[in-house]
Amino acid sequence: MSQENRIPPPTALVASLPATVPFVGPEAHMRASGRPFRARLGANESLFGPSPRAVAAMAAAAQDVWMYGDSESHDLRAALATQHGVAPENIVVGEGIDGLLGNLVRLMVGPGDAVVTSDGAYPTFNYHVAGFGGVLHKVPYRDDHEDPDALLARARAVGAKLVYLANPDNPMGSWHGAARVQAMIDATPSDTLLVLDEAYVEFAPDGTAPQMRPDTPNVIRMRTFSKGYGMAGLRVGYAIAHRDLVALFDRVRNHFGIGRIAQAGALAALKDADHLADVRAQVARARDTLADIAARNGLRALPSATNFVAIDCGNGDERARAILGALMAQDIFVRMPFVAPQNRCIRVSVGDAAALDAFAQALPVALRKAGQTAR
């Protein structure tokens, strides 16, 4: 390429990053195959959909879409504050947890700063850390759970700016009880910020989330409307933290990043407790169905507190990868963990009856194609 046809160079940091993204989206897979999915069970979306009240609220808001959304998300923050028993000043709203993580890393992590996470945990967090020049330090899972003791020990050893824990966990669906998480909060060094990702907490058993204590200065808790509320395409999440930390977000966030339709939909969804309860019940039943499908095919479903199930395929990642590929060839979209030993599993989102029936039909075929006969 001649010099005159080259783009101006990016920063040295960006030039050093790999040309990868955390996930290949389902639409990209469908474009590659030229076919639609029979069952879209790989992105942990809610096939049960959003509240009808939220759909109606978004439709009503569409006529006013010529206006920017409220830059302070005032009404949504006030409703969230009431629900969680905190002040609006303890809440920041952002473009999903992913957007909030990006802004948080921008706020707290400079080139060379240490950040601690679990090896194989949510990769978008790692993507943001790398993008701002942070140095990732990873600890292994323990018994398919993130290990709070190991995370804290590494955070102390490296002087971490951030330590990340998802509870419940993605990609394994495992979880720790509130007392265990609170013990980690209490033991986190004062100069380290604990990032507690609670994206799936609506699906978890009672007693999973510790009590809200927003005045704790070194904890930020992240929630989303993408999972339990069935609004992944809306991109609305929020974080609960000390008001001084929340105030820092105003220095870097996209102040008009949450559109008028999105705010209206999220607010209406938050108020429809009956719909959320119904989705929780459907998710619980679907998890049982996935466990039964796995067992009928000689596989084991791990206990889950999320809207997906990790299915242990045994024999390391080679078999799991072959099964995943054979499912994808049948237009059944699922994913698998990236790191051993968790990558012995495939991860299957729960779905409605039609999607689960399609998975049930495809799995024995996938097992045969992977060179294993279903028992």
Q: Which residue has the tokens 């993605």?
A: 170
Start-end of H helices in the chain: 12-16, 26-33, 52-61, 74-84, 96-108, 123-131, 148-158, 178-187, 243-249, 260-271, 273-296, 316-329, 353-369
Per-residue buried b or exposed e for 248-264, using 16+ beta carbons within 10 Å of the residue's own CB = bbeeebeeebbbbbbbb
Q: In this predicted structure, what is the pLDDT of residue 373?
A: 42
Q: In this predicted structure, what is the pLDDT of residue 318?
A: 95
**Quick check: bond before 168 cis, omega within 30?**
yes
Q: In this predicted structure, what is the pLDDT of residue 173?
A: 98
Q: In this predicted structure, what is the pLDDT of residue 315?
A: 80
Q: State the angle between helix axes of 260-271 and 74-84 in degrees (0 to 180), rounded to the nearest 10.
A: 20
Q: Is residue 201 within 8 Å of 223, Cβ to Cβ?
A: yes
Q: Is residue 22 within 8 Å of 123, Cβ to Cβ?
A: yes
Q: How far apart are CA 369 and CA 223, in angstroms?
A: 39
Per-residue pLDDT of the chain (375 residues; tens, 9 = 90+): 456 788 898 899 989 988 877 778 899 999 999 999 999 999 999 999 999 999 999 999 999 999 999 999 999 999 999 999 999 999 999 999 999 999 999 999 999 999 999 999 999 999 999 999 999 999 999 999 999 999 999 999 999 999 999 999 999 999 999 999 999 999 999 999 999 999 999 999 999 999 999 999 999 999 999 999 999 999 999 999 999 999 999 999 999 999 999 999 999 999 999 999 999 999 999 999 999 999 999 999 999 999 999 999 998 899 999 999 999 999 999 999 999 999 999 999 999 999 999 999 999 999 999 985 444
DSSP code of residue 145: B
Q: How far apart are CA 257 and CA 69, in angstroms?
A: 8
Q: In this predicted structure, what is the pLDDT of residue 375?
A: 41
Instruction: Please work out, in degrees rounded to the nearest 5, the angle formed at the alpha carbon of residue 128 by the alpha carbons of 227 and 9.
Output: 135
pTM, 2 dp? 0.94
Closest residue by Cα to residue 304 from 371, 375, 247, 227: 227
Strands 237-241 and 219-224: antiparallel
Helix (H) or strand (E) holding 17: none
Q: Is residue 160 within 8 Å of 297, Cβ to Cβ?
A: no
| CA-atom Rg of the chain in angstroms | 21
Contacts of 184 (CB under 8 A, 6+ apart): 148, 151, 152, 165, 194
Q: Is residue 313 within 8 Å of 299, Cβ to Cβ?
A: yes
Beta bridge partners of 239: 92, 222
Q: State the angle between helix axes of 123-131 and 96-108 in degrees (0 to 180), rounded to the nearest 10.
A: 40
Q: In this predicted structure, what is the pLDDT of residue 374?
A: 40
Q: Is residue 243 within 8 Å of 250, Cβ to Cβ?
A: no
Q: How far apart are CA 167 and CA 280, in angstroms?
A: 17
- What domains are defined for the chain? 13-49+274-369 (3.90.1150.10), 52-272 (3.40.640.10)
Closest residue by Cα to residue 279 from 106, 50, 7: 50
